[in-house]
Structure 1
Amino acid sequence: MDVRRVVIVGYEAAELLDIACVTTPLVMANMEGPPPPYEVTLVTPGGRPVTCGTGLTIQAQGALERVTGPLDTLLVSGGIGHGAAAADRGIVAHVRRLARESRRVASVCTGAGVLAATGLLDGRRATTHWGWARTFAVRYPAVRFDPDPIFVRDGSVATAAGVTSALDLTLAFIEEDHGGDVARSVARQLVTYLQRPGNQAQMSMFTAGPPPGDGVVRRVVRHVTDDLAGDLSTATLAERAGVSERHLSRLFLRHLGLTPARYVRRARTEAAAQLLTTTRLPMAAVAARCGFGNTETLRQAFTDRYGVPPSHYRSTQSARSR
């Protein structure tokens, strides 16, 4: 191809950031990288302007129905209009048609629902915005939805999580197409990470939402986050809460979906991730401060949670974000 044709599918009430986090890095890559350049086109049903969920109206550059391949990349945006888009037989049929003529296919956020409606995700692992993963898993049982990763690659199909994860996926595409130097240059222009690891968790328990409603769980959670280096065994936490270990486990599973032990392990791992990217503490000091017995225990927990060892996480995240 003389150009890499990238078609982004929008629709009424699509999310503007889902679109912009793809278009902007690709256009920047054209300024930084070697040929072939990306030719980016936003298409909508009928080629009509669409009003995004935030109220801004954007002009399409083409009609979904009239686009033909071959394409380098087909990407479906998400947004609060995703349900209507997934229920629109015309949109679904044309996305399915174009996917057959594309080197790779992707979605952002709830755009995964549109891809799932086409059957393109059947038998594949996929992700979407954490708030929709459970709903989509029930609605599309043939798809293995994972609510945790920033993005998932399964063969030629990629799915990104909520909103700005589109930036991470697009930078990964640029690195794949043009190499790490071009991707890093684009990331610097955007004042962002090169890219977060695809399997980095979407949500940190420290920012995921309000404290649990149950008073016992709320007190234990507060104690855990305040004293990560302390004795946080289930037996100790249960004694502190004045309940049995079995009852505490039931409460945690009901309100947090995790056992006390798994919650503690996740809290410690996420705290370690924060220290690795914001401080220059030696690995042993990070492990000790976060309650891990040694660096090997930290490494095992970190690899289980993020898919990479802590040393790799620190070298790829902290250095590039400064």
Structure 2
Amino acid sequence: MSRAIGFLVYPGFQLLDATGPIAAFEIAGRLSPGAYSLHFLSLRGGLVPSTSGMVVQTKALAEAPPLDTLLVAGGDAVKVPASCPETLAFVRAAGRQARRVASVCSGTYVLAEAGLLDGKRATTHWSPTKAFQRRYPNIRLEPDRI
């Protein structure tokens, strides 16, 4: 049985934040064929443009399979999903049900807003670390971790 890996994207996501991890799962899949099924997810589904203008076909959050792992992509527009009640509810549910929930770069804002990082260590893009610490004082931010 394959493990479902969901990549949460939104208009204005950073393409590398999704394709980098996808490449890692693709290579792992070569070593263990059928181990992973990869799913691009967005609030409503359909075509979602990245910051580069490239678009990806997505499934609506409501159509997502049960996930083993949810990965939230970062990007300049990350405040949109971080302020969307439906998206945050989905991320919270994934936090309860999935084996892993992670983010790349500023995707950390979505996890923080959903409350999944309270009391935990986290890192994010270096540029907004002071603002992040002010907004989420219950998260132990490690700005120089990577």
Q: Same fold (TM over 0.5)?
A: yes
Letter in 2 for 1:63: A
Distance 1:103 1:75 in 2: 11
Distance 2:48 2:97 in 1: 25
Equivalent residue, structure 1, for 2:138: 142
Equivalent residue, structure 1, for 2:23: 24
- Given that 1:3 and 1:35 are in contact with CA atoms closer than 8 Å, whether structure 2 keeps it comes out as no
Instruction: Kindly indicate which of the two structures has a greater share of residues assigned to strand.
Output: 2
Distance 2:84 2:41 in 1: 15
**Other structure's SS at 2:6 match:** strand
Equivalent residue, structure 2, for 1:66: 63
Distance 2:34 2:55 in 1: 31
**Other structure's SS at 1:18 match:** helix
Equivalent residue, structure 2, for 1:53: 51
Equivalent residue, structure 1, for 2:106: 110
Larger relative contact order (Cα-Cα within 8 Å, sequence gap ≥ 6): 2
Structure 1 residue ranges without an equivalent (≥5): 151-322
Letter in 1 for 2:56: I
Listed as ranges, the matches of 1:302-317 within 5 Å are none
- Given that 1:82 and 1:111 are in contact with CA atoms closer than 8 Å, whether structure 2 keeps it comes out as yes
Listed as ranges, the matches of 1:219-258 within 5 Å are none
Equivalent residue, structure 2, for 1:126: 122
Equivalent residue, structure 2, for 1:314: none
* Residues 1:68 and 1:56: Cα distance change in structure 2 (over 3 Å): closer
Q: Establish whether residue 90 from structure 1 lines up as the match of residue 89 from structure 2.
A: no
Q: Establish whether residue 12 from structure 1 lines up as the match of residue 11 from structure 2.
A: yes
- Given that 2:13 and 2:77 are in contact with CA atoms closer than 8 Å, whether structure 1 keeps it comes out as yes
- TM-superposed deviation, 1:67: 1.7
- TM-superposed deviation, 1:135: 1.4
**Other structure's SS at 1:14 match:** coil
**Other structure's SS at 2:110 match:** helix
Number of aligned residue pairs: give it.
146
- TM-superposed deviation, 1:54: 2.1
- TM-superposed deviation, 1:42: 0.7
- TM-superposed deviation, 1:36: 5.4
TM-score for both structures, normalised by structure 2: 0.94
Distance 1:59 1:21 in 2: 17
Listed as ranges, the matches of 1:151-170 within 5 Å are none
Give 1 or 2 for the bigger CA radius of gyration.
1
Distance 2:3 2:127 in 1: 33
Instruction: Kindly indicate which of the two structures has a greater share of residues assigned to helix.
Output: 1
Distance 2:33 2:50 in 1: 32
**Other structure's SS at 2:53 match:** coil
Structure 2 residue ranges without an equivalent (≥5): none
- TM-superposed deviation, 1:53: 1.5
TM-score for both structures, normalised by structure 1: 0.44
Equivalent residue, structure 1, for 2:2: 3
- TM-superposed deviation, 1:48: 2.3
Distance 1:35 1:52 in 2: 29
Deviates more, 1:106-115 or 1:131-140: 131-140
Identity %: 39
